[in-house]
Amino acid sequence: MSASYRQPGVVLTDRRFTVPLDHADPAGETIELYAREVVAGDKAHQELPWLLYLQGGPGFGAHRFVGRQAWLGRALQEFRVLLLDQRGTGHSTPAGRQTLPLRGGPAAQAAYLAHFRADSIVRDCELVRREVTGGAPWTVLGQSFGGFCTVNYLSTAPEGLTAALIAGGLPSLDAHADDVYRAAYPRIERKVTAHYARYPQDVERARRIAGHLLDHDVVLPNGYRLTVEAFQSLGILLGGGEGSHRLHFLLEEAFVRTPHGPELSDAFQEEAQALLSYAGHPLYALVHEAIYGQGERPTAWAAERVRAEFPQFDAAKALAGDGPLLFTGECVYPWMFETDPALRPLRETAGLLAARTGWPRLYDPARLAANEVPVAAAVYHDDMYVDTAHSLETARAIRGLRTWVTDEFEHDGIRAGGPRVLDRLLALARDEA
């Protein structure tokens, strides 16, 4: 039975659904999905259209709002909202080092995780929609990877959609993972260069930390081995609106004097491990490159391989000269399954996913070219996480899609400027802007 409860200005209802693990075998094994229904307190008994929110990631449960925070307040003016924990995330049947051994060995785990991509998520949504709305179509808001899922929705089940709203999540329809990262590293370098222009003192700070890590074996309190490559991966912060400032504040408190000489401070280590650990979202690391898999070609640790084409990201070479250390961005590397204790037991499973071939196609260009669903997409200028050129190429391939290209926000615009962003997307989809 669904449980309802209140927060300031809203009524929440916990919803649970049973769906097939493999939608091609509907009578086979099932998994559970969790979603949180949210409605404005003064509209709780009204018949309202539904808006489904698909979180970014992959591998993150839907955001846990309190009251009418961020874009949710704007949505609740006219919608009943469903915040879905996509399969394997949040309260939906979890997938991580503690639960995946129930599947068996690494090969069985990898086969299981092959069902955790956008195509399976969208088929989940269709089963949930029929139960929640009685079959009526709904509006979908997809953030980042949620936008990837939304484009798959438009490709496979557009009849389930009243409108599609996408924030920072228009994927390439046909790019291999190599193409994604080959486009990513120059963008990452631009973000790092902009950070150092804002905080020039951080050039020496980052070099000093990297030099310390090359000379010392540093293990964080949670058992994470802080290598120089792991330190560089903190550049993932630079894709968010406040990320450059957060990185700066982290670097400025890196060292303390001790009886044994300078050491990385407890405060630095505590924050670094919170940023680097995948304990709370292991699925992100496991399937991150798999979300780009289409056809026979494996992803094969694309971010690691393509990085070799950009020697400026080599920390040892940077420190041997006088240039700045470059951080990296939203990349998953095989060494993460050595440094992170939450991922170590899944190292072989991740390798099998990287080697997997025969991925189903995620997008249908012909169907998208004939699209009749109103679609609006916010495309963030020089988005560090999703290539702008790829996004605009896809926008041109989806009939009727209207874009809002802006440099006012970074990739987290739906959170940083939620009401304005959602309002703009709704106006574009309704041909009111």
How far is Cα 143 from Cα 56, in angstroms, rounded to an integer?
5
**Nearest CA to 380 among 389, 367, 370, 368?**
389
Give yes or no for a contact between 252 and 205, defined as CB atoms under 8 angstroms apart: yes
How far is Cα 323 from Cα 306, in angstroms, rounded to an integer?
21
Residue among 120, 144, 233, 391 flagged as catalytic: 144
Exposure on the CB side of residue 211, measured as CA atoms within 13 A:
14
Residue ending a domain, choose from 336, 355, 374: 355
103 and 146 within one domain: yes
27 and 86 within one domain: yes
User: Would you give per-residue pLDDT tens digits along the chain (433 residues)?
Assistant: 478 999 999 999 999 999 999 999 999 999 999 999 999 999 999 999 999 999 999 999 999 989 888 899 999 999 999 999 999 999 999 999 999 999 999 999 999 999 999 999 999 999 999 999 999 999 999 999 999 999 999 999 999 999 999 999 999 999 999 999 999 999 999 999 999 999 999 999 999 999 999 999 999 999 999 999 999 999 999 999 999 999 999 999 999 999 989 999 999 999 999 999 999 999 999 999 999 999 999 999 999 999 999 999 999 999 999 989 999 999 999 999 999 999 999 999 999 999 999 999 999 999 999 999 999 999 999 999 999 999 999 999 999 999 999 999 999 999 888 899 999 999 999 999 8
List the domain range (segments joined by +) for residue 80.
4-174+363-429
349 and 296 within one domain: yes
Q: Is 93 exposed, middle or buried (0-12, 13-18, 19+ CB in 10 A)?
A: middle
Neighbours of 265 (CB within 10 A): 15
How far is Cα 302 from Cα 285, in angstroms, rounded to an integer?
13
Instruction: Tell me the DSSP string of 53-105.
Output: EE-STTT-PPP---SS-HHHHHHTTT-EEEEEE-TBSTTSSB-STTTGGGG-S
Give yes or no for a contact between 246 and 224, defined as CB atoms under 8 angstroms apart: no
349 and 386 within one domain: no
136 and 45 within one domain: yes
User: Cα–chain-centroid distance for residue 84?
Assistant: 14
Residue ending a domain, choose from 314, 334, 355: 355
Give yes or no for a contact between 36 and 15, defined as CB atoms under 8 angstroms apart: yes
pTM more than 0.85: yes
112 and 17 within one domain: yes
201 and 130 within one domain: no
345 and 197 within one domain: yes
- The pLDDT score that the predictor gives to residue 359 is 97
- The pLDDT score that the predictor gives to residue 418 is 82
- The pLDDT score that the predictor gives to residue 433 is 81
Number of domains in the chain: 2
- Known active-site residue 383: yes
12 and 134 within one domain: yes
- Known active-site residue 423: no
Q: What are the backbone angles phi and psi of residue 182, rounded to the nearest 5°?
A: -65, -30
- Beta bridge pairs of residue 376: 165, 402
Question: Structure tokens of 342?
Answer: 């939450």
Residue ending a domain, choose from 355, 385, 414: 355
375 and 278 within one domain: no
Residue among 195, 288, 390, 411 flagged as catalytic: 411
Residue among 383, 387, 391, 412 flagged as catalytic: 383
**Local structure of 7: helix, strand or coil:** strand
CATH code of 143's domain: 3.40.50.1820
**Local structure of 264: helix, strand or coil:** strand
Longest dimension (CA), the chain: 70
Instruction: Tell me the DSSP string of 285-320.
Output: HHHTTGGG--BS----SHHHHHHTT-GGG-HHHHHH
349 and 217 within one domain: yes
> pLDDT per residue over 187-202, tens digit each?
999 999 999 999 999 9
Contacts of 173 (CB under 8 A, 6+ apart): 151, 363, 365, 368, 393, 394, 397
> pLDDT per residue over 143-199, tens digit each?
999 999 999 999 999 999 999 999 999 999 999 999 999 999 999 999 999 999 999
Q: How far apart, in Å, are the Cα atoms of 200 and each of 37, 77, 192, 196, 328?
A: 46, 44, 11, 5, 18
166 and 18 within one domain: yes
How far is Cα 276 from Cα 335, in angstroms, rounded to an integer?
13
Instruction: Tell me the DSSP string of 176-213.
Output: -HHHHHHHHHHHHHHHHHHHHHH-THHHHHHHHHHHHH
- Known active-site residue 411: yes
Give yes or no for a contact between 408 and 59, defined as CB atoms under 8 angstroms apart: no
